[in-house]
Chain A
C-alpha cells in the first residue's frame, strides 16, 4: 500500500531521502549537509566510527530530533515538520540501539498493542482486548515468525537479552512499515548469535526499504546492497559493498579506529 504522496517531486522509486540535513549542538556539528536517498526495497547499511552521527541521523529521519536545517522526505513528501507519531503513520518504523521496550508487559501484549496502534484501535475502551481476534492472530503469527512463540505469555523483562533484541524488531514490524530503520539491531549479542537477528531481517518482504546501522563488517557485507560511510557527521562516501570494502579512505578510518581501541 504505497501512498500516492509523491506529487511534489519525485521519483516513486525513492522511499526516503534527505536534503542537506544538518544537526548542530552549540559548536558541535553532529550531522552536516547530509544528502541521502534510500530506494524502495533497498538493503542499505550506514557505517562509521563511534560518534560519526549515525544515531543522530536516524533520530532526525524518525522525528525524534528536529534538524537544525535541511529536510526529510518520505516518498517525496516533505515530513520535516511532522512529529514522530505522524511519520510512523506515514510508514516509517525503527528499532533502538538500547532496548526501548515495555518491560512489564508480556510479549503478546506488546506486539498486540503495536498492531492496535497501527489500526487506530488503541483508543477503544469498551471492547475487550480478547475480542480483537484478528489482531491477536496477527500478533501471534509475527511472534511465531520471530521464534518467540514459547515466550509469548511472559513479561518482556524476563526474556534473554537476545530475545529482547528480537522484540525491538517485532514492535517495529508490527507497524507494517514501508521503511525500516534498524539501529544496531544485533548490538550486545554475541557474534555467533547475531546472524539469527539478521536472518529475520533477510526474510522481510522485498518492498520494505531497510536502512541499518551495523558495526560488524561481515554482517554488513552479507546483508547490504549499498553502504554509506559517515565520518564526523559528513558522508565520506557511498557505494556497493565491494567498492567500500576496498576504499582506502574507509580502511584508514577503520584501521585508525582499531589502532587505538
Chain B
C-alpha cells in the first residue's frame, strides 16, 4: 500500500471491522452460557455506558473528571423519581434521565472549561460534592441515606416486562450499550472527535488554527454528562433502587479506575476496563468482602506502571509482537 493510501486508511473510521462485530456477540454468548448471573452482566453493561461517556471527556478531550457520578446519580434519581410519580415507561424515562443530566452537564461545563488541569479536576470534584450533599439534604424527595425504592418500571415497548431473573433488563441494557457505543464511535471518528484529540495533544496550537477550544470542550462535556445520565437511568430502572452512593465521589473514582484499567481514548478500553473491574470486584469481594479494594489497588498500580494504555493497550502491543515474530518466522 502506498504511504498515501495507508495514511488515509489510518484515519479514524466509524465503520466496524468484522472482528468487532464478532466481539459484540460475546456478551450475547455470556447470556446463554452463564444464565444464573445475569445481574452481573446487567451492571457491567450499565457501568460501561457511563465509562464510555467518561472516555469521551478524559480519553479524547483530556479532561480528568472526578464528578461524573453527579451526572450518573442525577440520571438515576430522575428515572427513579419519574417511576415513583407513576411514569413507568422505561425508554422515555431513560431518555429524560439523560436529558436532565445533559442540562446539568451543560451548566457545569462553563465552570469546568475554565482553568487548567488541577483547577478542572477540583471543579469536577466540587460539582460531585455539591450534588451529593444536595441529594442528601433533600431527603424528602430523594429518600436521603435510605435511597429511593418501591417503584415499578413498565414493560419495554409495552410488551417485555422486567422479570426476576433480569433477562429483560439484560437485553434492554445490551441494546442501549450498543446504541451508545455507535453514537460515541460516530462522534470520535468525526471532525469534532479529531479536534478533541487535537485539543488533548496540543491545546496551545488550536487558536492559531482559528479554533475555539472552550466551545468544543463544553460540547464534549455536555454530551458526556448526558450519556452518563442515561447510564444512571438504566441503573435505577434495572435495580428498581437508587442509593445515594450512586452520586458519591467514590463512584466517580470507580469510573476513572475502570477507564484507566481498560485504557483511555479508544472506547474499547472503557468496555474492557469495566468488565475487568466488575468481575474482579465480584470475585475478590466473594473471597474477602473487606479487603477487595486492597487487591484492586494493586491491580490498578500494576496497570498504570507496567501496562501503558491499560489492558487494551497492553493487548495490542502483545498482538503486534506476536505478529512481527510470525512475520519473521515465515518470510
Contacts and interface: CB of A to CB of B under 8 A. Distances in A.
A122 B207 contact: no
Given A125-B186, A175-B209, A151 B3 contact: yes
B192 interface: yes
Interface residues on B, range: 35 or more
Interface residues of A, number: 51
Contact of B202 (A100, A151, A172): A100
B269 to A, nearest CB: 15
Interface string B74-99: 00000000000000000000000000
B209 A149 contact: no
Contacts of A113: 191, 194-195, 198, 209
B204 to A, nearest CB: 6
B201 A129 contact: no
A7 B52 CA distance: 52
A121 interface: yes
A124 B209 contact: no
Interface string B178-199: 0000000011011111110110
Contacts of B215: 123
B195 A102 contact: no
Contacts of B193: 125, 129
A142 interface: no
Interface string B193-228: 111011011101101111110011001000000000
A88 B7 contact: no
A64 B207 CA distance: 9
A248 B15 CA distance: 66
Contacts of B186: 125-126, 128
Contacts of B14: 128
A123 B191 contact: yes
Interface stretch (A23-31, A67-75, A104-112, A217-225): A104-112
A124 B197 CA distance: 14
A106 B7 contact: yes
B208 A84 contact: yes
Nearest to B215: A123
Nearest to A156: B201
A108 B10 contact: yes
B7 A140 contact: yes
A83 interface: yes
B195 A117 contact: yes
A152 B3 contact: yes
A118 B193 CA distance: 16
B3 A118 contact: no
Contacts of B204: 100
Given A116-B191, A128-B13, A153 B208 contact: no
A124 B202 CA distance: 20
Contacts of B198: 102, 105, 109-110, 113
A235 interface: no
A42 B320 CA distance: 51
A51 B45 CA distance: 58
Give the residue among B9, B13, B210 with the most A Cβ atoms within 10 A.
Answer: B210
A41 B78 CA distance: 61
A119 B140 CA distance: 52
Contacts of A152: 3-4, 7
A101 interface: yes
B23 interface: no
Nearest to B3: A150
Nearest to A154: B7
B12 interface: yes
Interface of A: 62, 64, 83-86, 88-89, 93-94, 96, 100-110, 112-114, 116-118, 121-130, 132, 136, 140, 144, 149-153, 171-172, 174-175
Given A83-B207, A109-B198, A130-B11, 15 more contacts: A85-B212, A100-B202, A102-B205, A103-B201, A108-B11, A112-B194, A114-B209, A122-B211, A124-B192, A127-B191, A129-B11, A130-B13, A140-B4, A149-B4, A152-B4
Interface of B: 3-4, 6-15, 186-187, 189-195, 197-198, 200-202, 204-205, 207-212, 215-216, 219
